[in-house]
Structure 1
């Protein structure tokens, strides 16, 4: 048996440095600030309804029989809640389970939009399994979680995202986007 032929290594090439002249002359003078210190920062958009209070302080609901905001310490893991929401919603849109099963996870407005809305074609067509990637979580305010994931079906990737708010000790979806 003969020994394998090993190609000879290529010789090293020398690097050449080329100096390119600047197209614009250098700025002379003081730097211009990008933010005007006299202008106040923009206010966050108003979120209607009562907001969760400071951490560790329980709010007394105005309506003792209505829903009450929950602080993060009173809520379960948002990643697991997001995975359950995405799985249930996508399977319901694909026709593998009734849409009524999504109702307990969403607000009435989100559920109504799912019922009367058009179902994405990638959810309803084909028999390929629906795979959900890892769920990413961002918690901008105490008692609020924004979750997102990538759903794959038939070699195509689709984004899914939701806003979860803590109400009565559990997460409820107040906004859902399925791309």
Structure 2
């Protein structure tokens, strides 16, 4: 709540004037605005969702699974990146919910003796989470 600034009463009466004290009025309490909490976000299994994409990119799962976890344009783009290699997550993904139906995911992975970062965005539509962006930062 922002601070309230009020004008102070005069410290001294004007010279030669007779001052009749006024009774102090009690200020009316201001209503307090209580924010309504947002409903909880739908359940998101970020480990499974990221794991499916990484396994497809490594060639350990069929590419058709990308259509189930990503938007059509992203699934096509990721399908071009499939190569035989070994990738594993080093830690569980970090998930941030900028809104109720959107999640931003960051995870650190190890691929062929290199440590890389993955940044992804998922959105909840049709009772499922779908990736709308997925980037391996090399």
**Bigger Rg over Cα:** 2
With the shorter chain as reference, the TM-score category is 0.5 to 0.7
> Structure 2 residue aligned with 1:131, among 63, 88, 110?
88
Unaligned runs of 5+ in 1: 1-53, 57-70
Q: Which has the higher contact order (CA 8 A, sep 6+)?
A: 1
Show the counterpart of 2:75: 111
Tell me the matched-pair count: 100
Q: CA RMSD in A?
A: 2.1
Separation in structure 2 between the aligned mates of residue 118 and residue 169 of structure 1, nearest angstrom: 28
Q: If the length of structure 2 is used for normalisation, what is the TM-score?
A: 0.63
Q: Report the CA distance between 1:113 and its aligned residue.
A: 1.0
Q: Could you list the runs of 4 or more consecutive aligned residues of structure 1 that deviate by over 2 angstroms after TM superposition? A: none
- C-alpha contact (below 8 Å) 1:162/1:177 kept by paired residues: yes
- C-alpha contact (below 8 Å) 1:151/1:157 kept by paired residues: yes
- The structure whose residues are more often strand, as a share, is 2
Show the counterpart of 1:48: none
Q: Report the CA distance between 1:55 and its aligned residue.
A: 3.8
Q: Report the CA distance between 1:147 and its aligned residue.
A: 0.6
- C-alpha contact (below 8 Å) 1:130/1:152 kept by paired residues: yes
Unaligned runs of 5+ in 2: 1-36
Q: Report the CA distance between 1:150 and its aligned residue.
A: 0.6
